[in-house]
Amino acid sequence: MIKGEDDSKIVAIGAALGRASPLPYTVELWNLPRSAPERVIGRAATAVLARAIFVAAQSEHLGRRILLRRGAQVIAEAG
């Protein structure tokens, strides 16, 4: 990162409406009441990469609810 550059990060750039996403897997961190996603931790194109993001998120956010999804389908859940 260049010094002085904005610290915001792009997680993924959305696909046009009607097209399949090139990053179908999503790892979500849920809020403490477990009522809604707080933020998307990462997106991935492959199941292997998605699982790696999910495992890393578990160690980074101990005890929090984390979901690994492919579209609306929940692949894995922690917390």
HSE value, Cβ hemisphere, 13 Å, CA-based, for 61: 23
- Token pair for 43: 């997106």
Query: Across the chain, what does the average pLDDT equal?
Result: 83
From first to last of the 79 residues of the chain, give the pLDDT tens digit: 344 444 444 444 444 445 667 999 999 999 999 999 999 999 999 999 999 999 999 999 999 999 999 999 999 999 9
Please tell me the distance from the alpha carbon of residue 60 to that of residue 41, in angstroms, as a whole number: 11
Query: What digits encode the pLDDT tens for the residues 51-70?
Result: 999 999 999 999 999 999 99
- pLDDT of 1: 34
- Token pair for 72: 């609306």
Could you tell me which of 30, 60, 55, 36 has the C-alpha nearest to residue 44?
Answer: 55
Sequence ranges of the domains in the chain = 25-78
pTM score of the predicted model: 0.73
